[in-house]
Amino acid sequence: MSARVSAGSVLRAQGLGRRYRRRWALRDCDLDVPAGRVVGLVGPNGAGKSTLLHLATGMLAPTEGTVEVCGGRPAGSPAQLAKVGFVAQDTPVYAGLTVADHLRLGARLNPGWDDGLARQRVRRLGLDPGQKAGRLSGGQRAQLALTLGIAKRPELLVLDEPVASLDPLARREFMQDLMEAVADQGMSVLLSSHLVSDVERCCDHVIVLVDSRVRVAGDLDELLAGHRRLTGPRREPDTLPSDVQVITASHTERQTTLVVRTDGPLHDPGWTAAPLGLEDIVLAHMARPAERVRDTRPALEVLR
């Protein structure tokens, strides 16, 4: 996990939206991504994660709002393009080109290309420079795409579900290589993934995007420290202090279970507090409003 200290924002969005005909894929999105960090972007399918990343890389233009990346408009100039590397969800490489062809293409298209770094990675990964990309395994193609992104020497590397189709071993190797590259180059990373375990392992800042809006964002350590599961005798959540934010609540006939966020200790012996992992925190914030307060008593008893 990166231990770098943030120095401003590497991506800032205000009222950002993108519409496809009558459907909004992203709308009213306000976001501030700290620089110098490994940032995990998580959320349900359809939350707008890929659309946000495509807007950030200049592959899409906003329908409304603004987005600024590395101090400028995405893809606004060749210099701006050079600041951002992108590895898409399907780890795109050209099936008919060899590994060496990809490195030559990367050198031709990227003014800051580090050919020594690219070739060193290819050797270390055991990739045959003469082999066509279409003959590589899924993990090898992902590593080749990562090599192209890293050797560009970007200020920000954007990855959209880069390991979604890989087996667990290939996924772990990819993430380990990514973290080594971050440590060596000091670049910022924005990683979208539905695999919360990968995010928890490698990211130091987390953003949860739900229905195109940021539901919660913060440093991983702070999010883990600030969320608790409370269990106790049945009672209403509004009995808690005002500085305790209730994320979800569920009730049985005798017991109440809450997921809460608070900056300080809870001085109430009626509650038993337990820590939460990142996956439980993410799932709690992803819950739809109707699911946030659940009563699991029998229906007849609820109506009584």
HEC-encoded secondary structure of the chain: CCCCCCCCEEEEEEEEEEEECCEEEEEEEEEEEECCCEEEEECCCCCCHHHHHHHHCCCCCCCEEEEEECCECCCCCHHHHHCEEEECCCCCCCCCCEHHHHHHHHHHHCCCCCHHHHHHHHHHHCCCCCCEHHHCCHHHHHHHHHHHHHHCCCCEEEEECCCCCCCHHHHHHHHHHHHHHHHHHCCEEEEECCCHHHHHHHCCEEEEEECCEEEEEEEHHHHHHHEEEEEEECCCHHHCCCCCEEEEEEECCCEEEEEEECCCCCCCCCCEEEECCHHHHHHHHHCCHHHCEEECCCHHHHHC
- Contact, 229 vs 273, CB < 8 A? yes
Amino acid 302: pLDDT: 39
Q: For the chain, list the domains and their CATH numbers.
A: 9-211 (3.40.50.300), 225-303 (no CATH)
What pTM was estimated for this model as a whole?
Answer: 0.86
Q: Which two tokens stand for residue 59?
A: 């592959």
Amino acid 5: pLDDT: 37
Amino acid 105: pLDDT: 96
Amino acid 4: pLDDT: 39
Q: What is the pLDDT along the chain (304 residues), one digit of tens a residue?
A: 333 334 589 999 999 999 998 899 999 999 999 999 999 999 998 899 999 999 999 999 999 999 999 999 998 899 999 999 999 887 779 999 999 999 999 999 999 999 999 999 999 999 999 999 999 998 999 999 999 999 999 999 999 998 887 888 888 888 998 998 888 888 999 999 988 988 998 999 999 999 888 999 999 999 999 999 999 999 888 888 888 999 999 999 999 999 999 988 888 888 999 999 999 999 999 986 545 555 444 443 433 3
